[in-house]
Amino acid sequence: MKYLIVGLGNIGWEYENTRHNSGFLMVDALAKDINVQFANNRYGAVADGRIKNAQVVLLKPNTLMNLSGKAVRYWMDMENIPIENVLVLVDDLSMPFGSLRLRGQGSAGGHNGLRNIEECIGSQNYARLKFGIGNHFAQGHQIDYVLGTWDPDEEKYLDEICKTTTEIIKSFCLQGLARTMTLYNNHNLNIVTTQSITDASNDTH
């Protein structure tokens, strides 16, 4: 079986280590774990590897976030990968920082990368692994927040979170979507940030 694992993000030094590039962060962690290197190719950086008996094509689109679907469609067709073997790794503003959720379908939820993928492949029925980035920003500052870099108390957890995302991706390829959702969707990391402490304090008042 062959799988397409797509990390969403924006290319360029100005976007490195930003919350909106969580998809790149996750796919880079997987590439390191299975010891493969990305090379520039059509519509993105691509790496080929194996997870036991599963062939995987890792993709970081270079189309910028809003046109991610063009790269996904091209590599699905090029590698003859069915939609049920596609997994998109993406940031999610509606989830608390560090939370992870695997879904087999759903709306774009305001995420421009997911919206474009849906338009290009003609379906919402593809798997996506969402990386919670939180939403602690003042009104009108959403763009600054998602394109901002991680806070120091968030950054210290990224390696641990990415270890879990790598486990989830491997399980998706080897055990399937349903089994992986059962195993991991209620899995919570013990993450404490300055903001989470503030939120907890506010909830008690």
C-alpha span between 74 and 181 (Å, rounded): 27
pLDDT value for 138? 84
pLDDT value for 202? 47
pLDDT value for 14? 92
pLDDT value for 91? 94
C-alpha span between 86 and 89 (Å, rounded): 10
pLDDT value for 192? 58
CB burial of residue 137 (10 Å; 0-12, 13-18, 19+):
middle
pLDDT value for 174? 97
165-187 tens-digit pLDDT: 999 999 999 999 999 999 998 76
State which residues of the chain have pLDDT below 70: 187-205
pLDDT value for 107? 87
Domains (range + CATH), the chain: 2-203 (3.40.50.1470)
3-state percent helix, strand, coil for the chain, nearest multiple of 5: 45, 20, 35
C-alpha span between 41 and 154 (Å, rounded): 32
111 carries an active-site annotation: no
The most distant pair of C-alpha atoms in the chain lies apart, rounded to whole Å, by 56
pLDDT value for 188? 66
